[in-house]
């Protein structure tokens, strides 16, 4: 009895077990509820049905293609957001006149939810890839600009003066004080932007409907296949988990620790 308990306790210290354990329980619970047949099976399929559908769709090659489409779109959005959003955010944050001018515009355009752009984009570009790319790039860029500008503006002015009085040139102040100081906000912006962009992508795929996980789910809605809808949702969740755990969180940890250091200095 004792070794088993010790073994269990050791097992629980692994992060993978801590993360996955609750999900194993959840899936077990799900399977039990389905076995009890409280809801008709067609409306509420079990884990084994979803798994079978997963294997089937992978075998047919539909799922990898759709997954690739969705991820590529998200990556394009993120890339554009970083390449355009950060420089614009820096400009707006550093230049008081452009801050005054652009700030209200940014707040306003950020508030026009990405999805609200879909109808007019459909008139301009039709049901094409351009529409989807526009929506996702739009969605990622505004939180990036917003947070980068905010980050640059909240760097304590003493730090800038300290660097200047030590003889730093404008360029070095930018690279060594303002950018690192703004980095935590930039990461927050990326997180918000991707979070919104992710949802916008799903909505765009549902409405524009050419390919992608969102399209698969809505196509399943049309044919009444709940299994594929649930499969799509699980895939979306896992995909975000991967993006979050492997990209966003490490970046966040690195920059916020750094920021902590910077904060303590004065």
Residues making contact with another protein (CB under 8 A): 18-19, 21-23, 25-26, 43, 100-105, 107-109, 111-120, 122-124, 153-154, 156-158, 195-196, 198-200, 202-203, 206-207, 214, 217-218, 220-221, 224, 226, 229-230, 232-233, 236-237, 240-241, 244
C-beta closer to another protein: residue 83 or 128: 128
- Kindly state the smallest distance separating residue 3's Cβ from another protein, in Å: 22
Calculate ∠ Cα 219-221-222, nearest 5°: 65
Query: Pseudo-torsion of CA 205, 206, 207, 210, nearest 10°?
Result: 50
C-beta closer to another protein: residue 6 or 161: 161
C-beta closer to another protein: residue 22 or 61: 22
Q: Which two tokens stand for residue 103?
A: 């700030």
- Kindly state the smallest distance separating residue 161's Cβ from another protein, in Å: 10
Q: Which helix (H) or strand (E) holds 200?
A: helix 179-208
C-beta closer to another protein: residue 29 or 83: 29
Distance CA(66)–CA(191), nearest Å, equals: 23
C-beta closer to another protein: residue 8 or 83: 8
C-beta closer to another protein: residue 36 or 97: 97
- In three state form, how does the secondary structure of 46-68 look? CHHHHHHHHHHHHHHCHHHHHHH
- Kindly state the smallest distance separating residue 119's Cβ from another protein, in Å: 4
- Kindly state the smallest distance separating residue 96's Cβ from another protein, in Å: 10
Distance CA(36)–CA(217), nearest Å, equals: 26
Q: Which two tokens stand for residue 32?
A: 């039990």
Q: Which two tokens stand for residue 253?
A: 């940890």
- Kindly state the smallest distance separating residue 149's Cβ from another protein, in Å: 13
- Please give the DSSP secondary-structure letter assigned to residue 210: S
- Kindly state the smallest distance separating residue 210's Cβ from another protein, in Å: 16
Which residues, in sequence order, are CB contacts of 86 under 8 Å at separation 6+?
144, 148, 186
């Amino acid at each position: 009895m004792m070794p088993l308990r010790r073994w269990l306790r050791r097992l629980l210290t692994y992060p993978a077990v801590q993360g996955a354990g609750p999900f194993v329980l959840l899936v077990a619970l799900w399977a039990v509820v389905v076995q009890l047949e409280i809801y008709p099976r067609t409306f509420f399929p079990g884990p084994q049905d979803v798994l079978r559908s997963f294997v089937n769709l992978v075998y047919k090659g539909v799922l990898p293609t759709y997954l690739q489409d969705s991820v590529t779109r998200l990556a394009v959005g993120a890339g554009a957001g970083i390449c355009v959003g950060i420089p614009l955010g820096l400009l707006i944050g550093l230049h008081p006149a452009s801050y005054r001018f652009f700030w209200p515009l940014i707040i306003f355009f950020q508030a026009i939810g990405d999805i609200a752009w879909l109808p007019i984009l459909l008139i301009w570009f039709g049901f094409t890839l351009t529409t989807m790319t526009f929506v996702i790039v739009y969605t990622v860029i505004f939180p990036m600009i917003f947070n980068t500008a905010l980050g640059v503006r909240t760097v304590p002015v003493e730090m800038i003066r300290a660097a200047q009085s030590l003889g730093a040139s404008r360029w070095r102040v930018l690279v060594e004080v303002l950018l690192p100081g703004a980095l935590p906000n930039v990461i927050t912006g990326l997180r918000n932007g991707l979070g919104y962009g992710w949802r916008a992508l799903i909505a765009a795929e549902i409405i524009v409907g050419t390919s992608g996980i969102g399209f698969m789910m809505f196509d399943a809605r049309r044919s009444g296949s709940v299994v594929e809808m649930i499969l799509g949702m699980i895939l979306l969740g896992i995909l975000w988990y991967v993006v979050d755990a492997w990209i966003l969180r490490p970046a966040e940890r690195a920059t916020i620790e750094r920021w902590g250091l910077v904060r303590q200095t004065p």
